[in-house]
Structure 1
Amino acid sequence: MSKYKINEIFETIQGEGQYTGTASIFVRLQGCPVGCSWCDTKQTWDQLESDKQPLSTIIVKTSDDPTWCDVDDSTILNTFVEQAYRAKHVVITGGEPCMFDLNPLCELLHSKGYSTQIETSGTFEIQAPEQTWVTVSPKINMKGGYKILASCMQRANEIKHPIARQVHVDELEQLLIEAPIKENTLIYLQPISQKISSTELAIETCKEKNWRLSVQVHKYIGIS
């Protein structure tokens, strides 16, 4: 069995990318050294022993706090059953989930009829089965100094790139030259913080390049 540091587990609707609108169970892992300035889950960055709690505390928490628990893949699956979650799509996010070997968890979930998706910054090697949907949200030139791995870009099923200014579009274009993606990989632009200027830039760029728009539907309708 593999152990995973869990910040939270909850059932909701996926609000981003290709799976927008899909009933999903989110498994949010603890730990991320990338240092994205606009990160909306900064409570997942550190893995302090002083924040460690039992799963029973983590599963019911309603605030964005840094508490986490250490559990194995079977316990995660059992939690889905005990909580009577109905969704059959599981989104493994963070933090940076690819700091962990996700093969055991994903393979177990697949054997029980779940589909899986990983949301990663592309800065750690992806350890997951081929049938797992991989969303790479490349965090370029962030505080932590981590580089986007060409292997992650090549593995991606979709690229979901947050943008606020033209420089972010330019950075993505340069990255796509340096680390090419597969021909059928989808490219989404996601406006940062739902700003009007960011949204307008994303829309115009998507029209120009035949890319797609991701608008974080969950934030517009007020769900987690």
Structure 2
Amino acid sequence: MFETIQGEGSFTGIPSVFVRLQGCPVGCPWCDTKHTWSLDDALVTTAHEVINKPQEDEQFFTTDENGLLSLFNDEGYVAKHVVITGGEPCMYDLRPLTTYLHDNGYTTQIETSGTYEVLCDPRTYVTVSPKINMKGGMEVLIGALERANEIKHPIAMQKHIDELDALLKDVSSLEGKQVCLQPISQQKRATELAVKTCIARNWRLSLQTHKYIGIE
């Protein structure tokens, strides 16, 4: 859990509190948060240890909605946009958490792989970054894409765009949804392909600006 600037997608530049939920079976090979994959009870520690650790590791803490908001206050967070990510946050029913946060003056955003049903408050902004043919063998659910406000797809080559096109054929409508292409690892070839495709289709380019400016 930490306060920073949202670096990707439609909310780029917005001060945000990131809450990373533990656990993910999807298995993306390029994942930069692999420390969130394991749900081993032996890794549970205190919130203080997790929030103040000097570097990322697999330890995590547990709390409820009220306890999480208390931690925001204890840490002096001023951002009012909460990004719920992971791991894979939609492994969990997020309706109690997202409703509680909205009712207490926050906006919420979920970042999910689309491999689980999205259970959240109707006011929550849902970003689906569809993870196709990953090691975990999980399918992207059309229901998750239907719920998405934003479909943000990491790409490195034309094959990845073709895979996205195949998914989008089954979505009833893209009206009101923002489609973003995000070059994997800021690769030059991937960036050029993303720019070209976004212009041709009137989609949006999503850059991992936090990596360019060197923040978490």
Q: TM-score range by the shorter chain?
A: over 0.9
**CA 135–181 in structure 1, closer or farther in 2 if over 3 Å, else same:** farther
For the residues of structure 1 that align with 2:172 and 2:165, how far apart are their CA atoms? 10
For the residues of structure 1 that align with 2:3 and 2:173, how far apart are their CA atoms? 31
Is 1:10 aligned to residue 21 of structure 2?
no
Is 1:55 aligned to residue 38 of structure 2?
no
Q: Aligned runs of 1:52-201 on 2, under 5 Å?
A: 52-201=44-193
Native 8 Å contact 1:191 1:215 kept in 2? yes
How far 1:120 moved relative to its partner? 0.2
Which range moved further: 51-60 or 196-205? 51-60
Aligned length: 216
Is 1:209 aligned to residue 204 of structure 2?
no
Kindly provide the amino acid, as one letter, of the partner of residue 107 in structure 2.
S
Native 8 Å contact 1:150 1:180 kept in 2? no
For the residues of structure 1 that align with 2:32 and 2:200, how far apart are their CA atoms? 29
* Partner SS, residue 178 of structure 1: coil
For the residues of structure 2 that align with 1:43 and 1:180, how far apart are their CA atoms? 36
Which ranges in structure 1 are unaligned for 5 or more consecutive residues?
1-8
* Partner SS, residue 71 of structure 1: coil
How far 1:69 moved relative to its partner? 0.9
Q: Aligned runs of 1:22-37 on 2, under 5 Å?
A: 22-37=14-29
Moved beyond 4 Å, runs of 4+: none
For the residues of structure 1 that align with 2:188 and 2:95, how far apart are their CA atoms? 39
Native 8 Å contact 1:117 1:135 kept in 2? yes
Which ranges in structure 2 are unaligned for 5 or more consecutive residues?
none
For the residues of structure 2 that align with 1:169 and 1:120, how far apart are their CA atoms? 18
User: What's the TM-score once normalised by structure 1's chain length?
Assistant: 0.94
For the residues of structure 1 that align with 2:110 and 2:63, how far apart are their CA atoms? 18
How far 1:12 moved relative to its partner? 0.2
Native 8 Å contact 1:153 1:181 kept in 2? no
Native 8 Å contact 1:153 1:180 kept in 2? no
Kindly provide the amino acid, as one letter, of the partner of residue 56 in structure 2.
D
* Partner SS, residue 70 of structure 1: coil
Kindly provide the amino acid, as one letter, of the partner of residue 27 in structure 1.
V
The share of aligned pairs that are identical, in percent, is 56
Q: Where does residue 41 of structure 1 map in the other structure?
A: 33
User: What's the TM-score once normalised by structure 2's chain length?
Assistant: 0.98
What is the alpha-carbon root mean square deviation over aligned residues?
Answer: 0.9
For the residues of structure 1 that align with 2:188 and 2:73, how far apart are their CA atoms? 41
How far 1:178 moved relative to its partner? 2.5
Native 8 Å contact 1:96 1:120 kept in 2? yes
For the residues of structure 1 that align with 2:119 and 2:19, how far apart are their CA atoms? 16
Kindly provide the amino acid, as one letter, of the partner of residue 165 in structure 1.
M
Q: Which structure shows the bigger proportion of residues in strand conformation?
A: 1
**CA 181–61 in structure 1, closer or farther in 2 if over 3 Å, else same:** farther
